């Protein structure tokens, strides 16, 4: 990867679900350490764009390059390994594994990377402390509030110290106070570890935490504009 090449770049992505086009020529570039908000109305294709960027879904046509490597040429096992080792994820409803305790949830990506259970849980506790939810370590997701669950999910996303964090409506299910807290912690933690953040949201208040906004409309990236300080 050259010094000027973006960390993650998508070009002319198209993807349809049956007869319905979700992406219709979307393009985006994300630099290392950058926080980019992907905005747009419901159904505009922003989650699909995020899934294609993260290698969760494959575009019908177009290219996604991560650190100079074309993802469309990667097999399922390679993409899984990439997501395990380089990417972190936060979703709207936290999506913690209900049967695992909070500390086990945060330790899970580390364990998938081959870190031993004790070491993984030790590191997971550190992340829970940084996200100010250390006291939840032994509780299961069913026993914590929505805001607490989202903070645990952020800790889980950052535990492997990823290069990119993909956050899909991370505050969508939270009240504004909790939403602000989660965004502050996500932004701070990502900045400290040097991770880029791709933030899908339809709320300008959330997008305000990003460095730059990309607007998706009808499956196309309509505009890219820097967020005013």
Partner 1 sequence: MSAWLRDLALGARLARSGGRGARSRVVLTAIGVALGVALLLVAASLPHMLAARDARTDARSDLQLSGPPPVAGVGTLLVADVNDRFRADDVRGRLLRAEGPVAPIPPGLERLPAAGELFVSPALAELLRSEEGALLRERLPQPIAGTIGDAGLAGPAELAWYRGSDDLRLRADDGTVRRIDRFGEPGGSTAPDPVMQLLAVVVLTALLLPVAVFVATAARFGGEARDRRLAALRLLGADMAMARRIAAGEALVSALLGLLLGALLFLGVRRLAGEVTLFGLSVYPGDVTPSAGLALAVALGVPTAAVLLTLAALRGVVVDPLGAVRRARPRRRRVWWRLALPLLGVLLLLPLIGGDTRSAAEHELQLAAGVVLVLVGVAALLPWLVEAAVHRLPGGGVAWQLATRRLQLDSGASARVVSGIAVAVAGAVALQTTFSGVENGYVSGSGDGRTADVWAHDDGRPGAGAQRLAAALQGSDGVRGAVVAGEQIEAGHGDTTEYVRVADCATLRRVAPIDRCADGDVFVVGEVTSLRPGARLRLDGGTSWTIPRDARVLQRWRGSPDPDDGASYSIPDPVLATPGALAGLPLRPRTTLATVTLADDGRDAIEHVRNTVARLDETATVAMLGGRSYDREYANLRRALFAGAVAVLTLIGASMLVGALEQLRERRRPLAVLAAFGTPRGALARALLWQTAIPVALGLALAVAAGAGLGAALLRMVGEPVGFDLASIAGLAATGAAVVLLVTLATLPALRRTVRPEGLRAE
How many Cα atoms sit within 13 Å of 10 on the Cβ side? 28
Give min distance, CB of 226 to partner 1, in A: 28
Pick the binder of partner 1 from 95, 126, 178, 193 (CB under 8 A): 95
Token pair in block for residue 178 = 């909790």
Give min distance, CB of 1 to partner 1, in A: 21
Pick the binder of partner 1 from 104, 106, 133, 152 (CB under 8 A): 104
- What does the alpha-carbon distance between residue 27 and residue 44 come to, in Å, rounded to a whole number? 14
- What does the alpha-carbon distance between residue 141 and residue 77 come to, in Å, rounded to a whole number? 29
Stretch that binds partner 1, among 6-14, 25-33, 77-85, 188-196 (CB under 8 A): 77-85
- What does the alpha-carbon distance between residue 47 and residue 78 come to, in Å, rounded to a whole number? 22
The residue (of 54 and 207) whose beta carbon lies closer to partner 1 is 54
Sign of the Cα torsion 155, 157, 158, 164 reads negative
Q: Which residues, numbered 7-36, are part of the site for partner 1 (CB under 8 A)?
A: 17
Pick the binder of partner 1 from 46, 49, 136, 169 (CB under 8 A): 169
- Asked if 142 interacts with partner 1 (CB under 8 A), we say yes
- What does the alpha-carbon distance between residue 137 and residue 209 come to, in Å, rounded to a whole number? 27
| Residue indicated by tokens 């998706």 | 216
- Asked if 98 interacts with partner 1 (CB under 8 A), we say yes
- What does the alpha-carbon distance between residue 48 and residue 60 come to, in Å, rounded to a whole number? 12
Where does this chain bind partner 1 (CB under 8 A)?
17, 42-43, 47, 51, 54, 56-57, 76-77, 80-85, 87-89, 91-93, 95-101, 104, 108-109, 111-112, 117, 140, 142, 156-157, 168-169, 172
């Amino acid at each position: 990867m050259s010094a000027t090449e973006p960390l993650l770049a998508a070009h002319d992505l198209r993807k349809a679900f049956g007869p319905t086009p979700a992406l219709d020529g979307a393009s985006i570039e994300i630099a290392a350490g950058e926080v980019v908000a992907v905005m747009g109305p419901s159904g505009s294709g922003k989650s699909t764009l995020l899934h294609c960027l993260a290698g969760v879904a494959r575009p019908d046509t177009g290219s996604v390059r991560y650190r100079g490597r074309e993802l469309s040429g990667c097999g399922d096992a390679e993409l899984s390994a990439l997501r395990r080792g380089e990417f972190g994820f936060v979703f709207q409803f936290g999506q913690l594994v209900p049967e695992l305790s909070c500390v086990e949830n945060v330790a899970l990506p580390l364990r998938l990377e081959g870190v031993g259970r004790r070491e993984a849980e030790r590191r997971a506790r550190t992340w829970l402390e940084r996200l100010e939810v250390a006291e939840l370590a032994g509780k299961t997701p069913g026993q914590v509030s929505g805001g607490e669950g989202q903070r645990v999910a952020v800790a889980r996303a950052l535990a492997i110290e990823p290069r990119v964090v993909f956050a899909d409506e991370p505050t969508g299910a939270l009240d504004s106070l909790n939403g602000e807290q989660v965004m502050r912690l996500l932004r701070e933690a990502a900045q400290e570890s040097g991770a880029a953040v791709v933030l899908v949201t339809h709320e300008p208040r959330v997008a305000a935490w990003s460095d730059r906004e990309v607007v998706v409309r009808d499956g196309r990236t309509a505009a890219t504009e820097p967020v005013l300080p």
